[in-house]
């Protein structure tokens, strides 16, 4: 049930972004094609295991986790990411994680954080991210570039009052197969 709710939320979010001019000015979901994720030429099955790496630009944080591809060959493919199995930051700390990553057949992406991705930078300044949006290149390795504006948590214990109220930063998100190679994306015909 939770997966269905996330999928509905993802599609609604993508539709709202299309109406408000978010992510890209073009169509966000085509619904005439499916996005296929493959591992060295073989289609990844629904429920297939994947490995995820997130690199947070500000703070130089790297986070890795196991996950699974919930659906494949659809206009919107959804990846569920597990709790981080590895994390490190050059500056500050990172807590929380990207919980779901939605990839569309037009090369747009939405990343949902759960319960909230928090980046603590020197100062210390504490920032929480919600929805991250971005893009990836279809017909290439699955490296997604998403960004978002984080809200400063000034009331949080340990956060400096001199910190900026918001912070915008990017994330590089790589999706790997079981063999350690990046998954590849392609379009397939799709019909309802």
Question: Looking at the predicted structure, is the pLDDT value of residue 177 above 80?
Answer: yes
pLDDT at 101: 94
Taking residues 21-41, report their average pLDDT: 72
Top-confidence residue, 189 or 170: 170
Structural domain boundaries of the chain? 2-189
Q: What is the DSSP string of 62-97?
A: EEEEEEEE---SBSEEEEEEEEEEEEEESSSEEES-
pTM: 0.81
Phi and psi dihedrals of 130, rounded to 5? -110, -110
User: What Å distances lie between residue 76 and 18, 36, 104, 131, 167, CA to CA?
Assistant: 14, 10, 4, 16, 29
Percentage of residues in the chain with pLDDT exceeding 90? Answer: 43
User: What Å distances lie between residue 184 and 15, 58, 80, 145, CA to CA?
Assistant: 25, 27, 17, 15
Q: Rounded CA gap, 187 and 11, in Å?
A: 18
Phi and psi dihedrals of 191, rounded to 5? -145, 145
Top-confidence residue, 122 or 153: 122
Q: Rounded CA gap, 192 and 178, in Å?
A: 31
Question: Looking at the predicted structure, is the pLDDT value of residue 17 above 50?
Answer: no
- Summarize pLDDT for 44-81 with one digit per residue, the tens: 999 999 999 999 888 789 999 999 999 999 999 999 99
pLDDT at 92: 85
Q: Tokens at residue 14, please? A: 């993508």
Q: Rounded CA gap, 71 and 91, in Å?
A: 36
Phi and psi dihedrals of 90, rounded to 5? -70, -35
pLDDT at 80: 95
Question: Looking at the predicted structure, is the pLDDT value of residue 7 above 80?
Answer: no
């Amino acid at each position: 049930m939770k997966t269905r709710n996330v999928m509905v939320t993802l599609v609604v979010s993508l539709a709202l972004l299309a109406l408000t001019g978010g992510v890209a000015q073009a169509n966000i979901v085509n619904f005439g094609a499916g996005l296929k994720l493959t591992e060295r030429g073989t289609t990844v099955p629904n429920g297939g295991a994947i490995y995820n790496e997130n690199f947070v630009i500000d703070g130089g944080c790297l986070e890795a986790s196991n996950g699974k591809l919930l659906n494949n060959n659809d206009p919107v493919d959804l990846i569920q990411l597990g709790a981080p199995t590895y994390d490190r930051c050059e500056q500050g700390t990172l807590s929380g994680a990207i919980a779901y990553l939605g990839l569309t057949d037009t090369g747009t992406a939405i990343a949902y954080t759960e319960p909230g991705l928090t980046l603590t930078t020197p100062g210390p300044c504490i920032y929480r991210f919600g929805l991250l949006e971005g893009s990836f290149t279809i017909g290439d390795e699955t490296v997604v570039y998403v960004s978002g504006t984080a809200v400063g948590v000034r009331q949080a214990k340990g956060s400096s009052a001199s910190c900026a109220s918001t912070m915008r930063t990017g994330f590089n998100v790589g999706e790997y197969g079981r063999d350690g190679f990046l998954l590849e994306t392609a379009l397939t015909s799709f019909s309802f």
